[in-house]
Amino acid sequence: MSTTKKQPSDLACLGGRPLFAEKLYVGRPNLCARDKLHKALDQIFDNRWLTNDGPFLRRFEETLQEFLGVRHVVAVCNATIGLQMVYRALGRARPARRKALMPAFTFIATAHAWEWEGGTPVFCDVDPDRHLLAPDGAESKLDDEAALIVGVHTWGQPCRIEELEALARARQIPLVFDSAHAFSNFHGSRRIGGFGAAEVFSFHATKFFNTFEGGAITTNDDGLAAELRHMRNFGFAGYDQVARLGTNGKMQEISAAMGLCLLDELDGLLETNRRNYRAYREAFAGLPGLALLELDDPESLNCQYVVGTLAPEAPAFARDLLVDVLWAENVLARKYFHPGCHRAAPYAGREPAPALPVTDDLCRRVVVFPTGTAVSPDQIRPIAETVRFVMEHADDVQRRRETRA
Domains defined along the chain, listed by start: 8-28+266-333+370-404 (3.90.1150.10), 34-263 (3.40.640.10)
Closest by CA position to 332, among listed 3, 12, 7: 12
The torsion angle over the Cα atoms of residues 384, 310, 371 and 74, rounded to 10 degrees, is 170
pLDDT, position 352: 87
Q: How many residues does the chain have?
A: 405
**Which pTM does this prediction carry?**
0.96
pLDDT on residue 53: 95
| Mean per-residue pLDDT, 86-109 | 90
pLDDT band at 91 (very low <50, low <70, confident <90, very high): confident
What mean pLDDT do residues 255-279 have?
98
Residue 158 has pLDDT above 70, yes or no: yes
Confidence band (pLDDT; 50, 70, 90) for 93?
Answer: low
What average pLDDT does the structure give for the chain? 96
Contact between 286 and 267 (Cβ < 8 Å): no
CA 211 to chain centre: 15
Task: Give me the pLDDT at residue 35, please.
Answer: 97
Given this model, what pLDDT does residue 404 score? 84
* pLDDT of 238: 85
Average pLDDT rounded to a whole number, residues 350-373: 96
Strand 99-103 to 120-124 pairing: parallel
pLDDT of residue 239: 86
Q: Find the mean pLDDT for residues 256-267.
A: 98
Exposed, middle or buried: residue 313 (CB in 10 Å: 0-12, 13-18, 19+)? Answer: exposed
Q: Determine the average pLDDT of the residues in 4-9.
A: 88
Is 141 buried (19+), middle (13-18) or exposed (0-12) by CB count in 10 A?
A: middle
Q: What percent of the chain has pLDDT over 70?
A: 99
Q: Cα–chain-centroid distance for residue 24?
A: 18
* Residue 2: pLDDT over 80: no
In this predicted model, what pLDDT tens digit does every residue of 270-318 receive, in sequence order? 999 999 999 999 999 999 999 999 998 999 999 999 999 999 999 999 9
User: Do 120 and 100 form a contact (C-beta atoms < 8 A)?
Assistant: yes
Please give the radius of gyration of the chain, using alpha carbons only, rounded to the nearest integer.
Answer: 22
Mean pLDDT over 215-242 rounds to 95
Task: Using the predicted structure, report yes or no on whether residue 3 has a pLDDT greater than 70.
Answer: no
Residue 335 has pLDDT above 90, yes or no: yes
Name the pLDDT band for 1 (thresholds 50, 70, 90).
very low
CA angle 36, 208, 222 (to 5 degrees): 85
Beta-bridge partner residues of 337? none
Counting other chains too, the contacts that 60-67 makes at CB distance below 8 Å and 24 or more residues apart are 60/211, 60/251, 60/256, 60/257, 60/259, 60/260, 61/216, 63/260, 63/263, 64/216, 64/218, 64/259, 67/184, 67/191, 67/263
pLDDT of residue 63: 98
Non-local (6+) Cβ contacts of 335 within 8 A are 319, 320, 323, 363, 366, 367, 368
Mean pLDDT of all residues in 63-92: 96
Whether pLDDT at 405 is above 90: no
Average pLDDT score over residue span 35-49: 97
Q: How far apart are CA 35 and CA 376, in angstroms?
A: 25
